[in-house]
Amino acid sequence: TFAAVIFDLDGVITDTAHLHFQAWQATAAGIGIAIDAAFNAQLKGISRMDSLERILQHGGKAARYDADARARLAAQKNARYVELLAGLDRRAILPGISELLEALAQRGIAIGLASVSLNAPAILAALGLTSRFNYCVDASRLRRTKPDPEIFLTACAGLQVAPAQAIGIEDAQAGIDAINASGMRSVGIGSDLQGAGLVLDSTAQLNVPLLQAFWSTQPR
Ligand code: BG6
Ligand code: MG
């Protein structure tokens, strides 16, 4: 059976995607760029600076902002985002996740976190989940954002598990692509996800027997 499960954070452990969206929308509006929910879907799983790049491209303004100006916009967005995170606690853990983490730990299955968010450690702490994870990738050390497999390969290495022995759970297309490129098996949460080994509507459907059934139905 599988030796590890590696989780994305935003949209899988807790639903912060709409808070990233609100914060980016306000920051983008401040420089005359409108973004909608459909565009926001392309920002899921994408690092802060890469998200800003996409927003500037979307608004046709990439050439107008140098590195310093970009750093200021990214800091502004993050300040708003951190404000929106205030009051985050255990109640914000998505359905089924606490139970799944508990069941995996009981079975000795390694648990990893693969989030490109620099806020991930603070969010996990606010949710009271830090000690649940055997290894969390340090996003500040990554060279490439999802869909590059680097983050999932780093998580596997940190857990000392081969990618072929691991399942990744993601809510973003870039994340599913990253899992698949790493040689892991992918589980998608939500709709409009292409290429996931298994797609579920909600985290509430996640449990160990379901993951075991998924693992055994599609032998490598
Ligand atoms: C990902 C989110 O988890 O983290 C992205 O899906 C976000 O929307 C990225 O841009 C980076 O987050 P942060 O907290 O470092 O700005
Ligand atoms: Mg996500």
Pocket residue to mutate for ligand 1, from 18, 27, 51, 113, most atoms within 8 A of Cβ: 51
Tell me if ipTM is over 0.85: yes
Categorize the per-residue pLDDT at 127 as very low, low, confident or very high, splitting at 50, 70 and 90. very high
Q: Which residues surround ligand 2, an ion (CB under 5 A)?
A: 8, 10-11, 171-172
Ligand 1, atom 16, residue with closest C-alpha: 48
The yes-or-no answer on residue 8 being catalytic is yes
pLDDT at res. 192:
87
Pocket residue to mutate for ligand 1, from 40, 43, 48, most atoms within 8 A of Cβ: 48
Q: What is the mean pLDDT of residues 129-145?
A: 96
Alpha-carbon gap, residue 165 to 144, rounded angstroms: 23
pLDDT(215) > 70: yes
Residue 15: nearest ligand to its CA? 2
pLDDT at res. 37:
92
137 lines ligand 1 (CB under 6 A): no
Query: What is the CA(46)–ligand 1 centre distance, in A?
Result: 6
3-state secondary structure 181-206: HHCCEEEEECCCCCCCCEEECCHHHC
Categorize the per-residue pLDDT at 209 as very low, low, confident or very high, splitting at 50, 70 and 90. very high
Instruction: Please write the tens of the pLDDT for every residue from 31-52.
Output: 999 999 999 989 999 999 999 9
**Computed from CA positions of residues 203, 205, 210, 215, in that sequence, does the dihedral angle turn out positive or negative?**
negative
Instruction: Please write the tens of the pLDDT for every residue from 80-117.
Output: 999 999 989 999 999 999 999 999 999 999 999 999 99
The yes-or-no answer on residue 36 being catalytic is no
